[in-house]
């Protein structure tokens, strides 16, 4: 587990920042903690997109491609409950003149986005290879996660908060003041307006080291060895002389 601390000391006489500052002496402390965790689930998103001079043919192409993709998902053990199909999007593609004025219709673009949630990574490489090979499938994207995220984040918040408290106490001792009480606190996932007050950017690390497993002659499916989960705790402590 890694820790990084950034500290800011401010008094009520300071010029007001983007958000209103407390009207009493305080110390603002930011603590961060992170941990590398092996993923055990993934959400795959992709789009099926077709184009034709007539909307009827474009729709038939999309329907046929969707049927084939759903068959691929089913063959890989994906249930209907794990698949979300979003509303069909339709747009016209028109010819333009030299001044970019729209002219006659060239054809119709049809697009439908899908989201597939896999609670296991066992079928992921095979499924992705087949989706890559499927006609009309575009914009494939994978987001990995862990079923232990809540437990990991709770531990990270506790660790970051403890480090922030320790640093605040060290600063107070060095400055000859005392930590009185907690005025406000947040983490990187809530109370975003406080970040302006603290002068800290709201960022969450989601890094993944990737290991490639070859599933075909031309296509590699990347499976992460780990994902990095980070949490930030921002605390304002009242201080007394």
The distance from CA 126 to its chain's CA centroid, rounded to whole angstroms, is: 24
State pLDDT tens for residues 65-88.
999 999 999 999 999 999 999 999
pLDDT band at 228 (very low <50, low <70, confident <90, very high): very high
Top pLDDT among 71 and 31 is at 71
pTM: 0.69
Q: Where in the chain is the domain with CATH 3.30.70.2970?
A: 41-145
DSSP states along the chain: -EEEEEEEEE-TTSPP-SSPPPSS-EEEEEEEEEEEE---EEEEEEEEEEEESSHHHHHHHHHHHHHHHHHHHHHTT--GGGEEEPPPEEEEEEEE-TT--EEEEEEEEEEEEEEEEES-STTHHHHHHHHHHSTTEEEEEEEEE-TTHHHHHHHHHHHHHHHHHHHHHHHHHHHT-EEEEEEEEEETTS-TTHHHHHT------EEEEEEEEE-SSS-EEEEEEEEEEEEEEEEEEEEE-
pLDDT score recorded for residue 59: 95
CATH fold of 41-145 reads: Alpha-Beta Plaits (3.30.70)
Q: What are phi and psi of 90, to 5 degrees?
A: -130, 135
The residues facing 108 across adjacent strands are 52, 92
Please, which residues have CB within 8 angstroms of residue 212's CB and are 6 or more apart in sequence? 220, 221, 222, 223
| Residue 203 scores a pLDDT above 60 | no
Q: Where in the chain is the domain with CATH 3.30.110?
A: 2-35+148-206+229-240
Top pLDDT among 206 and 58 is at 58
CATH fold of 2-35+148-206+229-240 reads: Translation Initiation Factor IF3 (3.30.110)
CA quadruple 192, 193, 197, 200: dihedral, nearest 10? 30
């Amino acid at each position: 587990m890694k820790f990084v601390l950034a500290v800011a000391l401010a008094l009520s006489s300071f010029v007001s920042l983007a958000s209103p500052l407390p009207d009493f002496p305080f110390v603002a402390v930011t603590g961060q903690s992170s941990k590398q965790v092996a993923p055990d689930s993934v959400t795959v998103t992709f789009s099926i997109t077709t184009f034709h001079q007539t909307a009827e043919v474009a729709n038939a192409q999309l329907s046929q491609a969707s049927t084939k993709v759903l068959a691929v998902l089913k063959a890989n053990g994906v249930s209907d409950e794990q698949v979300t199909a979003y509303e069909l999007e339709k747009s016209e593609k028109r010819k333009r003149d030299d001044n970019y004025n729209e002219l006659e219709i060239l054809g119709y673009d049809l697009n439908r986005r899908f989201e597939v949630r896999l609670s296991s990574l066992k079928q992921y490489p095979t499924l992705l290879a087949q989706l890559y090979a499927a006609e009309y499938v575009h914009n494939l994207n994978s987001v990995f996660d862990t079923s232990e995220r809540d437990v990991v984040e709770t531990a990270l918040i506790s660790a970051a908060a403890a480090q922030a408290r320790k640093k605040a106490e060290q600063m107070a001792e060095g400055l000859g003041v005392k930590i009185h009480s907690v005025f406000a606190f947040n983490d990187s996932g809530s109370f975003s307006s406080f970040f302006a007050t603290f002068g800290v950017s709201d960022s969450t690390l989601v890094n993944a080291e990737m290991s490639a497993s070859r599933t075909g002659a031309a296509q590699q499916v990347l499976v992460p060895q780990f994902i990095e989960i980070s949490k930030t705790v921002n605390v304002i402590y009242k201080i007394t002389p």
